[in-house]
Amino acid sequence: MDTTQLALLALLAGVVIGSSISAVIVASLRARDRARADTSLHVPAGVREVLHGMDDAAVVVDASFTVLAASAAATPFDLVEGSTLPTEDLRIVARRVRTAEAATTETMRLRRGAPPAEPRLVVVRATRISSRLTLLVLRDITERERVEEMRRDFVANTSHELKTPVGAVSLLAEAIESAADDPPQVRIFAARLSAEASRLALLTSRIMNLSRLQASDELTEQDVSIDEVVASALDAHAIQADSAGVEVVRGGARGLYVRGDAQVLSEAVGNLIANAIAYSPQGSSVGVGIKAAEGIVEIAVTDRGIGIAEGEQDRVFERFYRADPARARRTGGSGLGLSIVKHAVQRHGGEVRLWSRPGRGSTFTIRLPQIEAPAADPTPKRGRKKKRATATPARPATTPVGTNGDPA
C-alpha cells in the first residue's frame, strides 16, 4: 500500500472517529437539555401567549400543584399564578397524568366565583408537558348539559302530556260506542270527548307556538298599541273571569306603543291574565297596570292568589313546570303558558320580572322598549268599559311578580 492510500485511509478513519465523537457530544448536549427541561420549572416559550388567547380556563402547574401560568378565564375558578390548585379533584388529575404519562380527562364540579356561587360542571383535560409541568384545560359544560337536560325533559313531558288526552279520547270513543242505545249517556260522553279534544288541540297549539318563538324566524314587526294588546287580552279572558267570580281591573297609563307583533304580545299578556284568574280566590280582583319609565313600557298583572315559594320562582318559566301540579290539572293547565310569555317577551327585546309571596299573591311585569306613538294613529278606545278603573293595581307596576304554576 503506497503512501497516498495510507493517507486517504487515515483521513477516512479520522472523519469516522470525528463524526462519532461529534455525535456523542451532540447526543450528550441534547440529553442534558432534555434533563434540564424535565426538571426545570420554567414555562416553555410561547405557552403563556397561547394561554392568554384561550377562551377556556387553562393553567400550567408544577409538581407541587403551584400555578405557574394561567389564562384569563381561569381566574373565576380561583386559578391564578402563584396559587395552588384549590381542590383535591384537580390535584388528583394532575398527579395521575404525571404518573401515566398520557393525557387524561375527568368531569367534575368546581365553584366559579366566591360562595354562594353554585358549582359548575366542567371537563378537565390534563396533559403532561414535562416530568414536572402539567397543562390543565377546564371547559365549562354547565349550559350545554342544562340545554340537553331541558331537551330530554321536553320530549318526555310532551309525550306524557299528549298521552293523557289521546288516551281519554280513545276511551270515550269506546264508551260512546258501548252506550249507543242510551242517548243521555252518549251526550255525557260526547261532551267529555269534546273537552278532551279541545284540551289536545290547545296543548298542540301551545307547543307549536313555543317552537315558533324559539326558532330563528323573524316576527312580524309593526307599531303596536299597548292599549290594543291589553284590551284584546282582557276580552279573550272575560268569560273565564266571570265564571271564576274574579274582577279584572285595568289601570295606569294609556297611549303607549312598542315595536313588535301584536298577536304574540296579546297572547303573552293573556297568559298572565289567565294564570292570575285561575289562581285567585272567588270574589277577588286581578289588576292590570301599565306605566312607562325611562323608555320602558311595563305591563304588570297582579293577583291575590296563593303565591309561589321563593325556591320555585326561578323555575316557573320552564316548559311544563307546575308549582302546584294538582291544582294545574284541575284548572286544565298545560304548563307552557309562562314559557311562551318568557320567549315572546325576549323576542321583543324585553324581559319578564317576578315577585311573589306565599299567601299574598303574585305579580308578573312585562318590560318592553317603548317607541313614539304614530302621529296619525289616535289612541285606541277598545276595551270593556265595565272592567276599567281609574286606579292602578294594588301593587306598583315596577314590582315584578309571578303566579303559582301555569294553567295557561
CA angle 90, 45, 94 (to 5 degrees): 15
Contacts of 232 (CB under 8 A, 6+ apart): 262, 266, 270, 382
> Where are the domains positioned within the chain?
47-140, 147-217, 219-387
- Between the alpha carbon of residue 122 and those of residues 22, 62, 114, 263, the distances in Å are 50, 21, 17, 42
- Between the alpha carbon of residue 147 and those of residues 122, 143, 151, the distances in Å are 15, 6, 6
Query: Residue 327's pLDDT band (boundaries 50, 70, 90)?
Result: very low
CA distance 292 to 172: 51
Ramachandran angles phi, psi of 220, nearest 5°: -70, 120
Mark 104-131 as b/e (b = at least 16 C-beta within 10 Å).
Answer: beeebebbbeeeeeeebbbebbbebbbe
Contact 321, 406 (CB under 8 A): yes
| Type of residue found at 101 | E
Residue 66: what pLDDT?
A: 93
Query: Residue 32's pLDDT band (boundaries 50, 70, 90)?
Result: low
Q: What is the mean pLDDT of residues 169-174?
A: 80
Q: What's the distance, CA 4 to chain centroid?
A: 89
| Type of residue found at 276 | A
pLDDT tens for each residue of 232-243: 999 988 988 998
| Type of residue found at 182 | D
Domains 47-140 and 147-217 share a fold: no
Contacts of 11 (CB under 8 A, 6+ apart): none
Q: What are the grid coordinates assigned to 163, written together?
A: 298521552
Q: Strand, helix or coil at 145?
A: helix
CA distance 213 to 265: 12
CATH number of 147-217: 1.10.287.130
Domain over 219-387 is classified CATH 3.30.565.10: yes
pLDDT tens for each residue of 151-162: 676 666 666 566
Q: What CATH class is the domain 47-140?
A: alpha beta
pLDDT at 393 over 50: no
Contacts of 86 (CB under 8 A, 6+ apart): 77, 78, 79
Q: What are the grid coordinates assigned to 269, written together?
A: 299578556
- pTM greater than the 0.75 cutoff: no
